[in-house]
């Protein structure tokens, strides 16, 4: 039943996409299309990219149908219309595939990486497919001669590019970002800014007399777009760029503004260059601001966690020491030898925990500042694992985790002993922490190309959505209240393993446990 409902939703989404594609394509083709087909205003490219990326590539028939109908209506023969539509569909499929698979694109456009990927992979590369297929089809169909190939290609490419730079970001941001906080002052500022941006765009672009004038220059728009990006982030950037595009295209089409040239196609070519630069500038500024504020939030969160994490064992440690000192000062008997030993052991545990936390913090600064070179010597990984298990014996006993160790083949190599100690301690420590009450399996395998270390637990496991990010700095997939920790252990382990030319990976299922695998080449 749910499957059927999903299918209907997909069919509906495909039909809506084809209608949106068709309507916006018709609008674009009204704009003095070069050779009747290559228009400089082509919003459907952006709509198709956003739909395939946000909903799924399975919606591609919507692009094909919309493009086919639009080209048939524009007077193309069936084979030519079909070939052009296939080009348009390939463009959307390639764009969404490249962005998702190759660039790990996030449609919220909060990282400069996402903006650059959209420009390079979407706007510049994927659009070249449709322009090439389109121009070749028109040539083969006899609609254009060789002399028209380049102007047609250029118009096609630019039009599609602008769709990806102005229309797609608007849809990405509106659909994938959480709504802005509705503070009264911000709403008033947004209204004032929109009015100002619209007013200035009209002043600059709808200047019918084409008198020019001091303030009637296109660059007047830039400070306003920057204001929008600085204060309203991605929302400001995409809506600002869209508003300016809509007003300037309409004005230029009516023969007004600074970009008017001999023909509408030529005017639009100049205007689109300006719009592409504006959109890219606004999107990049907004992403840079978002990156900075994320860094500040991460730093503040880290400071909060660090002070909490460091204070808890320190307070407990002080209490213990004070208790022991008090009994000594009162000259009371220290109690049974066993009791005294027990107290000292727990004091030692706390001190070790503190030392580990401080060690992690020191390691972060070393890694961040690039002062991190493995100091290689001959190491037997089996002996190293035995030592780690001995070091963590108490912790493993308390967590009630029996450990099974299996060694197969020779597991020697040239590695940094101290650093590998850290990796093994981290993985076994995490297995005990997140897999308490269940066994832990440690497997070592010597192969020709290197050594494999596997640490498997049967604990809480990690949700698939979190599996990649737990290897990043400060990233955690558990609540602070449930489990202590900085979220640094796996990041440090990954950095150490990578510095040895190896890799670390994870297989996990929530509730069933996790297996961390480290592959280490025997030497550099």
Kindly list the residues in this chain that would bind ligand ADP in the complex (CB under 6 A).
Answer: 426, 430-431, 434-435, 457, 459-462, 470, 476-478, 485-491, 514
Q: How far is the CB of 479 from ligand ADP (least distance, A)?
A: 9
* Nearest of 119, 41, 52 to residue 90 by alpha carbon: 52
Structure tokens at 147: 């002399």
Please classify residue 128 by burial: count the beta carbons closer than 10 Å to its beta carbon, then call 0-12 exposed, 13-18 middle and 19+ buried: middle
Q: How far is the CB of 487 from ligand ADP (least distance, A)?
A: 4
Residue number with CB closer to ligand ADP (97 or 474): 474
How far from 259 is each of 136, 153, 223, CA to CA, in Å?
30, 21, 20
Q: How far is the CB of 388 from ligand ADP (least distance, A)?
A: 15
Residue number with CB closer to ligand ADP (343 or 467): 467
Structure tokens at 376: 């290689």
Structure tokens at 442: 């440690």
Q: How far is the CB of 493 from ligand ADP (least distance, A)?
A: 7
Element (H, E) at 184: helix 184-205
Residue number with CB closer to ligand ADP (108 or 469): 469
Q: How far is the CB of 443 from ligand ADP (least distance, A)?
A: 15
**Segments in 330-406 forming alpha helices (H):** 337-368, 381-391, 393-398
Q: How far is the CB of 361 from ligand ADP (least distance, A)?
A: 12
Residue number with CB closer to ligand ADP (297 or 512): 512
Residue number with CB closer to ligand ADP (224 or 432): 432
Residue number with CB closer to ligand ADP (137 or 430): 430
C-alpha 384/C-alpha 453 separation (Å) is: 11
| 392, 356 Cβ separation under 8 angstroms | no
Residue number with CB closer to ligand ADP (270 or 458): 458
Residues 432, 435, 436, CA angle at the centre, nearest 5°? Answer: 70
Task: Using the structure block, give the residue that is written with the tokens 């001959």.
Answer: 378
Q: How far is the CB of 384 from ligand ADP (least distance, A)?
A: 19
How far from 227 is each of 165, 245, 278, 518, CA to CA, in Å?
19, 17, 13, 48
C-alpha 278/C-alpha 59 separation (Å) is: 30
Task: Using the structure block, give the residue that is written with the tokens 């709504």.
Answer: 179
Q: How far is the CB of 467 from ligand ADP (least distance, A)?
A: 9
Q: 240 Cβ partners below 8 Å, 6+ apart? A: 193, 197, 224, 225, 228, 229, 282
Q: How far is the CB of 104 from ligand ADP (least distance, A)?
A: 20
Q: How far is the CB of 303 from ligand ADP (least distance, A)?
A: 16
Residue number with CB closer to ligand ADP (25 or 431): 431
Residue number with CB closer to ligand ADP (46 or 429): 429
Neighbours of 414 (CB within 10 A): 15
Q: How far is the CB of 100 from ligand ADP (least distance, A)?
A: 25
Residue number with CB closer to ligand ADP (79 or 418): 418
C-alpha 259/C-alpha 90 separation (Å) is: 32
C-alpha 332/C-alpha 175 separation (Å) is: 70
Task: Using the structure block, give the residue that is written with the tokens 């599609």.
Answer: 160
C-alpha 120/C-alpha 99 separation (Å) is: 10
Q: How far is the CB of 352 from ligand ADP (least distance, A)?
A: 15
Residue number with CB closer to ligand ADP (237 or 488): 488
Residue number with CB closer to ligand ADP (244 or 431): 431
C-alpha 321/C-alpha 317 separation (Å) is: 6
Residue number of the CB atom closest to ligand ADP: 485
C-alpha 193/C-alpha 231 separation (Å) is: 10
Can you say whether the dihedral through the CA atoms of 200, 201, 207, 211 is positive or negative? positive
């Amino acid at each position: 039943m749910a499957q059927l409902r999903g299918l209907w939703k997909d069919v509906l989404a495909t039909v809506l996409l084809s209608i949106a594609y068709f309507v916006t394509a018709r609008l674009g083709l009204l704009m003095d299309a070069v050779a009747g087909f290559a228009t400089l205003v082509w919003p459907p490219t952006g709509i198709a990219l956003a739909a395939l990326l946000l909903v799924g590539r399975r919606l591609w028939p919507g692009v094909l149908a919309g493009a086919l109908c639009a080209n048939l209506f524009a007077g193309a023969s069936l084979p030519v219309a079909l070939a052009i539509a296939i080009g348009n569909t390939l463009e959307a499929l390639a764009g969404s595939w490249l962005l998702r698979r190759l660039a790990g694109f996030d449609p919220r456009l909060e990282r400069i990486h996402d903006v650059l990927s959209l420009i390079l992979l979407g706007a510049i590369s994927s659009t070249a497919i449709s322009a090439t297929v389109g121009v070749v089809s028109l040539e083969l169909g006899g609609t254009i001669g060789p002399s028209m190939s380049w102007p047609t290609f250029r118009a096609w490419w630019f039009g599609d590019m602008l769709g990806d730079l102005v229309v797609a970001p608007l849809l990405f941001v509106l659909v994938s970002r959480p709504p802005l906080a509705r503070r009264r002052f911000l709403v008033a500022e947004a209204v004032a800014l929109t009015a100002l941006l619209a007013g200035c765009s009209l002043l600059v672009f709808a200047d019918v007399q084409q008198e020019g004038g001091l303030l009637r220059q296109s660059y007047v728009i830039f400070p306003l777009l920057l204001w929008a990006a600085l204060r309203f982030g991605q929302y400001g950037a995409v809506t600002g760029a869209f508003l300016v595009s809509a007003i300037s295209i309409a004005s230029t089409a009516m023969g007004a503004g600074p970009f008017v040239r001999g023909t509408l196609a030529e005017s639009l070519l100049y205007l689109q260059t300006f719009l592409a630069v504006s959109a890219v500038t606004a999107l990049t500024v907004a992403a840079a601001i978002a990156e900075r504020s994320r860094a500040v939030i991460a730093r503040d969160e880290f400071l909060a966690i660090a002070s909490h994490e460091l204070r808890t064992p320190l307070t407990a440690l002080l209490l213990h020491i004070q208790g022991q000192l008090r009994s000594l000062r009162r000259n009371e008997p220290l109690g049974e030898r066993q009791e005294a030993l027990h107290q000292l052991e727990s004091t030692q545990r706390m001190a070790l925990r503190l030392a580990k936390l401080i060690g992690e913090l020191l390691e972060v600064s070393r890694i961040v500042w690039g002062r991190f070179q493995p100091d290689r010597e001959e190491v037997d990984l089996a002996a190293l694992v035995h030592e780690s298990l001995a070091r963590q014996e108490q912790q493993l006993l308390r967590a009630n985790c029996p450990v099974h160790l299996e060694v197969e083949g020779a597991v020697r190599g040239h590695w940094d002993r101290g650093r590998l100690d850290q990796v093994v301690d981290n993985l076994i420590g995490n297995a005990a922490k997140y897999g308490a009450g269940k066994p832990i399996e440690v497997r070592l395998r010597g192969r020709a190309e290197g050594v494999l270390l596997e640490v498997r637990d049967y604990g809480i496991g990690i949700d698939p959505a979190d599996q990649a990010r737990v290897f990043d700095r400060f990233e955690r997939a558990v609540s602070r209240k449930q489990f202590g920790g900085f979220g640094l252990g796996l990041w440090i382990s990954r950095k150490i393993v990578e510095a040895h030319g190896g890799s670390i990976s994870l297989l996990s299922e929530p509730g069933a446990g996790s297996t961390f695998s480290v592959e280490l080449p025997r030497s550099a």
